[in-house]
Amino acid sequence: MKKSHWGIIIGIVTFAAAVSAAITAFLLVNEKKKRDEEELERYLDCSIQ
């Protein structure tokens, strides 16, 4: 392989890692938001009773 091919391969791997990191962060933020909403709902239900 020529030297330029290695640059393309490294670029693709870096891009894939960045995309997977962004997706993971998005999913973690959504999961935390969902847990916080459920916790708040439970707290409000217990407070009302």
Q: How far apart are CA 48 and CA 22, in angstroms?
A: 39
3-class secondary structure, 36: helix
Q: How far apart are CA 11 and CA 18, in angstroms?
A: 10
Dump pLDDT digits (tens) for 3-41: 678 889 999 999 999 999 999 999 999 999 999 999 999
Whole-prediction pTM: 0.69
Q: How far apart are CA 19 and CA 22, in angstroms?
A: 5
**pLDDT at residue 2 greater than cutoff 70:** no
